[in-house]
Every structure is written in structure tokens, then in C-alpha cells.
Amino acid sequence: MEKTRIWLDTDIGDDIDDTLVLEEILRNPSLDLVGISTVFKNTPLRAEFASRMLRAAGREDIPVLTGSPSPIRGLTPVRPHETFSQWDLEERTPDPGAFLEEAKDPFLVPREILKRAKEAPLTLLAIAPLTNVARTILADKGGILKSSRLFLMGGEYREHRPEWNLECDVEAFKVILSSGLDIRAVGLELTEKSTLSPAEERILERTGTDPLADFRREAVRRFQKSTNWPITPHDALALYMLLKEEKLDFLPVRHEIEEGTVDGQVRGWLKEGKEVPGMKFLASIDMEDLHRFVLNLGI
């Protein structure tokens, strides 16, 4: 079977779900991960985190690129729990090293994604604010991305509520909606229901014996200790959707963005609008099967 060429755009290093997604991708024999880009705030540190994870997996051949730290327009929202929750405990936050230099070039990530998409059709998996992806779409003057696909976690499609990845870069989400690309999205209304039980969390804490599993176990431990939150694997639904698309039900996206300003910050959410060509959102999901997928981790 031909492998799916995948590019991961991620804000790995805060919530644990991006870490779980990257591990699953690395372990999945049907996926060929051709590159990773980081986005939102401390992108050099996120890149260092991802590259350490690749090292644990023995996959230093996969490029990790430092993407946009701030949205296309407006301010970066702040939420109270914002730390590099998987790293800040007990040891000093590591030095992002060479990734700091890379962060100065806002066109680095678009250039590299377009280069890969030109070689062969590419599947973009976006599990973070959509700044990098939007910049890539804007830079794609030759229509290279028309043969590629985009799977994303972002938006809320049922109740007009704000969702983090959308509101962190409202302008970027508008670019996504007007891109005409072949897009499958999963919204907060489904992902927020994916919280693992304490017993399931314990499975994540002990599964696997290789260095990649060790890395994840330590990340889970630190996440739990610093946040004291249950694990809600929002982003895993986007990868699940990518892998099981044919068995899932989608609805056409008939939405547009409504904007408001709260405390001087631009906020945005989806409301009903005209049909967005090429874009569909996941209608429902079997949570038991999703949890089996999250906990299996291909081990």
C-alpha cells in the first residue's frame, strides 16, 4: 500500500495531545512523515521539543521547521494556564538553539511545504492555530496545493462558540475558508467530548518500553503535574479522521466567521453562512473507537 505523505503543523509542547499525535504518526506504517512545522508563540522551543521526540524515535532525518510565532493579524490571545507544561517542571526550559535563527524567516515554512507538495501530493495535518498553513496558501501563487489535502482541528460548527485554534488567528482561518482546497475539519463540539478516564490515563502512563514511549510517558507525567487537568486528546481526532475518513460521516461547511473584540483582542467564531467549496466537517465520532486509537499508539 502506498504511504500517505504527511506534513504536521503543530503547537507541540503545551497540551499533551500534539505529543500523542506525533507519536502515533511516527509509529503508523501507513504514514510517511515528510516534515514538521511549529506555530504559535515560542515556535523555536516547540521545534526543539519535536526534534527531541524525533531523536527518541531515531527519526532525525525528518526536518523540523520553526514557523510563525504570531498571527497574521491582531494580537496573540493569552490564556491563564499558558506554559510549556510538558517542560517547565524541575528542569530549566531548554535552549532552542539553532531554531531561534530559523524563526526570523516567516517564509521558511511556506517555502518548504510548497516544495514538498510540488514533488508529490501532500496531506497537511494542522493541529494548531492556522498561521503557517494560511501563509502557505497565500504564498501558493502556482496552485501547487490544489493536489494536496488539509485535515485540521479547528472551529466549532454547531453552537457558534469560540474555539482556540480559530481565535488565535482569525485571519488565518478566513484564508482557510476561502482557499477552495480539499479540507476536512473536526470541531471543538466533538473534540471536547474526548476526555480520557483516569484508568485510560494510567494506560498512557505505562504503555511501551522504547525511547519514544519513554519520552511520551515523561511528557504525560509533566503535563499532569503542571496542569492537573484530565487529558482531552482534541488533536488526535484530526489524525483519526485522516486515517479513517472513508468510514466517517461529514457535513458540508456552511459557515463564515463572525468577529468581535473582547478586552482589545480580536475574537472570532463560526456562524451560519454560505457553503465553503471543498470543505467538510466531521459530523460524529465513535468515542470508544477513538479512545482505542489513542491508547493503542501502534505498540
Which residues of the chain form contacts with Ca ion (CB under 5 A)? 11, 18, 127-128, 235
Instruction: Pick the closer one to Ca ion by CB: 117 or 128.
Output: 128
Instruction: Pick the closer one to Ca ion by CB: 67 or 140.
Output: 67
Instruction: Pick the closer one to Ca ion by CB: 12 or 114.
Output: 12
Compute the least distance from the CB of residue 122 to Ca ion, in Å.
Answer: 19
Compute the least distance from the CB of residue 279 to Ca ion, in Å.
Answer: 20
State the DSSP string of the chain: -PPEEEEEEE-TTSSTHHHHHHHHHHH-TTEEEEEEEE-SSSHHHHHHHHHHHHHHHT-TTS-EEE--SS-SSSPPP--TT-S-TTT-SSSPPPP-TTHHHHTT-TTHHHHHHHHHHHHS--EEEEES-SHHHHHHHHH-TT-GGGG-EEEEE----SS--B-HHHHTTHHHHHHHHTS--EEEEE-HHHHTT-PPPHHHHHHHHH---SHHHHHHHHHHHHHHHHH-PPP--TTHHHHHHHHSGGGS-EEE--EEEEEEEETTEEEEEEEE-S--TTEEEE----HHHHHHHHHHTT-
Instruction: Pick the closer one to Ca ion by CB: 112 or 163.
Output: 163
Compute the least distance from the CB of residue 144 to Ca ion, in Å.
Answer: 25
Compute the least distance from the CB of residue 129 to Ca ion, in Å.
Answer: 8
SS (H, E, C) 190-213: HHCCCCCCHHHHHHHHHCCCCHHH
Instruction: Pick the closer one to Ca ion by CB: 17 or 140.
Output: 17
Compute the least distance from the CB of residue 20 to Ca ion, in Å.
Answer: 10
Compute the least distance from the CB of residue 113 to Ca ion, in Å.
Answer: 17
Instruction: Pick the closer one to Ca ion by CB: 127 or 188.
Output: 127
